[in-house]
Structure 1
Amino acid sequence: MKYLEYTPFERINAFLDDLNLGERTINGCIEAYSCKHTGSDKRLSFSLENEILDYFGNSPDVDSDSTVEYVSSRSSRKMLIYLILTLSHMYPDYDFSAVKAHQFFTEETWEGFRQIFDTYMSDASKEWMETNEDGSLLETLYKALNEVINLAECDIYIYDPNSDADPFIEKGSLWSYNFFFYNRKLKRVVSFRFSCISNLVTDGFTMEEYYETDEVFDDMDM
C-alpha cells in the first residue's frame, strides 16, 4: 500500500488536528492509499490470506454467510486484506494480523456515514462554520472524498477494533470511529478516523468524575 498525497485532504486534516472544544478535543485524520503492494506487503498479504482461510475454514463460530462471502470470494478476501494493510501502514508499530472479517462492518451508503458524522461531529461542524464560508464541514468532506475516490463507486466500512487490543485507545478517550472508503476500480482506499478525548481526564480527573458532571454533554448534540 502506498500513501497518496491529495491537496483536498490537507485543509480538513489541519482543521481536525487537536481541535480544542473546551472540555474535550476532537481529532480527525483522512488519508488515501493505493492498493498496489509495496515493501513487505506481498508477504503480509499472503500470510493474511492463509490466516483468513484457516480461520473461516476451522472456526465453528463463524456463520455460513460470512464463510461464503470471505472464503469463496477472492475479491472479498482481497478487500479485507487491503483494509488490514491500510491499518498496518497507518499504525506501523501495531500488529493487525489478528484482525478478523467481522470487525469490519459494511455501512454501504453515504447516508449511514452522514448520520454518525452529524451525531458525533456536530460541535466540530459548528466550529468549522465560524471560520469557513464556503460550505459545511460535511459538504467539504464529501467534495474531497468524491474528488479522490468517487463515492458513487465506493464500498464504505466501519472498523470495530477488539477492545482488549485497541491501538486507538488514548487516556480520556470518549469515542472513536474508523471509516474506510474502498474503490475497487481505482484500487484505492481512503481512511477517515475521528475521535474525541476528554480534556478533564487528561488534566487529572478520573473517568468516573468526568461522567458525574452532567453538564459535560449539555452543549453537545447527541
Structure 2
Amino acid sequence: MKYLEYTPLDRINDFLSHLSLGERTIKGCLEAYSCKHTGTDKKLSLSLEHEILDYLGKSSDTESSSPAEYLCSRSSRKTLTYLVLTLYHMYPDYDFSAVRAHQFFMEESWDSFKQIFDAYMFEISKEWVEANEGNSLLDTLYKALDEVVKLAECEIYSYNPDSDGDPFLERGAIWSFSFFFYNRKLKRVVSFRFSCLSNLANENFLTEGLYYEEEDGEIFDDMDI
C-alpha cells in the first residue's frame, strides 16, 4: 500500500496536530492509502489470508452471526486484509493478527460517525469556526474525504481494540476513536484517528521522572566510585 498525499487532508491535519484546551489536548490525524500492493504487502497479504483460512478450518461455530461465517466470504476477507494492511502501515512496529483485529472492526454509517464526531469534537469545531471564518469543521472534513474516497461509495469502519491490542493508546488518553473509510472501487482507504489526552497526566509523568532522577542522583552522591 502506498501513502497518498492530499492537500485538503493536510490542512485538517495541521489544525488537529496539537490543540491544547487547558487540561486537555485534542489530536487528530488523517492518512490516505492506495490498496495497491507495494514492497512486502503481497507477502503480508498472503500471510493474513492463510491466517484467516486456518482459523476458518479450525472453527466449528456455524452460527450466521459468527466471525467465521462472515469471513467465509472472499470479499469480506479481502476487505479485512486491506484494513489490517492499513494498520500495519500506520504502525509498522506492531504485529497485527487478522482474526483478532476482525473482532475490533465494526461497520458504521456516516450518521453514526457524525454523532461521535459532533459529541467529542464539539469544542475543537468551535475553534475551527473561529479560525476559518465560520466554515464548519465537519463540512470541511466531509468535502476532503469525499474528494479522496467518494463517501457515497465508501464502507466506513470503526476500530475499537481492547487495551492489550491497542497501538493507538497514548499516555494520558481520556478517549480515542479510529475510523476507516474504504472505497472498494477506487481501492483506497483513509484512516482518521482522533483522541483526547490529559495534560495533567503527562505533566505528572514528567514530574515523577524528574523526581526519580534527582533521587537517584542523591543516592549516587553519597557513593564512592
The answer to whether the superposition gives a TM-score over 0.5 is: yes
Shift in CA distance, 134/167, structure 1 to aligned 2, threshold 3 Å: same
Q: Secondary structure at the match of 2:204?
A: coil
SS in 2 for 1:95: coil
Aligned to 1:184: 184
Q: Deviations over 1:118-139 (max 9, x none)?
A: 0111111111111111511101
Residue segments in structure 2 that go unaligned for 5+ positions in a row: 206-225
**Partner amino acid for 2:71?**
Y
Q: What displacement does 1:62 show?
A: 7.6
Structure 2 counterpart of 1:91, which letter? Y
Count of residue pairs brought into register by the alignment: 203
3-state SS in 2 of match to 1:204: helix
Q: Does 1:175 align with 2:175?
A: yes
Give the Cα–Cα distance (whole angstroms) in 2 for the partners of residues 125 and 60 of structure 1: 48
Once residues 54 and 62 of structure 1 are traced to their aligned partners in structure 2, the CA distance between those partners, rounded to angstroms, is 15
Q: 3-state SS of the aligned residue for 2:106?
A: strand
Distance in 2 (alpha carbons) for counterparts of 1:123 and 1:167 = 26
1:67 counterpart = 2:68: yes
1:194 Cα deviation after fit = 0.3
In 2, Cα distance between the equivalents of 1:167 and 1:204?
22
Cα distance in 2 for residues equivalent to 1:23 and 1:173: 12
1:17 matched to 2:17? The reply is yes
Query: Normalising to structure 1: TM-score of the pair?
Result: 0.87
Q: TM-score, normalised by structure 2?
A: 0.86
Match of 2:40 in 1: 40
Q: Residue 129 and residue 82 in structure 1: after superposition, are their counterparts in 2 closer, same or farther (change >3 A)?
A: same
1:1-222 pair list within 5 angstroms: 1-60=1-60, 63-65=63-65, 66-71=67-72, 73-97=73-97, 99-107=100-108, 109-133=109-133, 135-204=135-204
How many percent identity over aligned positions? 67
Q: State the alpha-carbon separation in 2 of the partners of residues 191 and 143 from structure 1.
A: 15
Alignment gaps of 5+ in structure 1: 206-222
| RMSD over aligned Cα atoms | 1.5
User: CA offsets per residue over residues 135-191 of structure 1, 9 Å max, x none?
Assistant: 111010000000110000000000112321311111110111010000000010010
